[in-house]
């Protein structure tokens, strides 16, 4: 489920790539997406606190948090930038086990 959420957020981020200034409606949607990431981060933190330290295949929580941070920063860059130009985005790992 986490991979699906990250994939949807990445698609949302990449779908905003045109070089036109964003609309108020687009900015509002991206702000909602950013707020959702904050909630996902809290859920990931909760899951990490409840982890089984003896698990033979532990979840890589730091990788999840790093990827969420990259996506969140990308959204905030778009939201706060009046003028957008194409740029290379850092890859997310997507491998959490």
Average pLDDT, the chain: 82
Domain that holds residue 63: 22-47+58-85
Q: How far apart are CA 11 and CA 42, in angstroms?
A: 22
Position 39 in a domain = yes
The domain total for the chain is 1
Q: Is residue 34 part of a domain?
A: yes
- DSSP assigned state of 17: -
Give, in order, the Cα–Cα distances in Å from 53 to each of 56, 61, 63. 9, 12, 17
Is 36 within a domain? Answer: yes
Residue 96 lies in a domain: no
Tens of pLDDT, residues 36-60: 999 999 999 999 999 998 889 999 9
* Four-point Cα dihedral 28, 80, 95, 66, nearest 10: -120
Please report whether residue 9 resides in a domain.
Answer: no
Q: How far apart are CA 65 and CA 69, in angstroms?
A: 6
Q: Does residue 33 belong to any structural domain of this protein?
A: yes
Mean pLDDT of 70-89: 79
Q: Once rounded to an integer, what is the mean pLDDT over residues 83-88?
A: 62
Residue 93: inside a domain, yes or no?
no
């Amino acid at each position: 489920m986490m991979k699906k959420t990250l994939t949807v957020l990445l698609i949302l981020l990449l779908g905003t790539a045109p070089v036109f200034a964003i609309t108020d409606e687009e900015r509002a949607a991206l702000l909602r997406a950013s707020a959702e990431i904050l909630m996902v981060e809290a859920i990931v933190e909760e899951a990490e606190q409840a982890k089984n330290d003896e698990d033979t295949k532990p979840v890589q929580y730091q990788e999840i948090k790093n990827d969420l941070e990259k996506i969140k920063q990308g959204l905030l860059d778009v939201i706060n930038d009046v003028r957008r130009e194409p740029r290379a985005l850092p890859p997310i790992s997507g491998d959490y086990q």
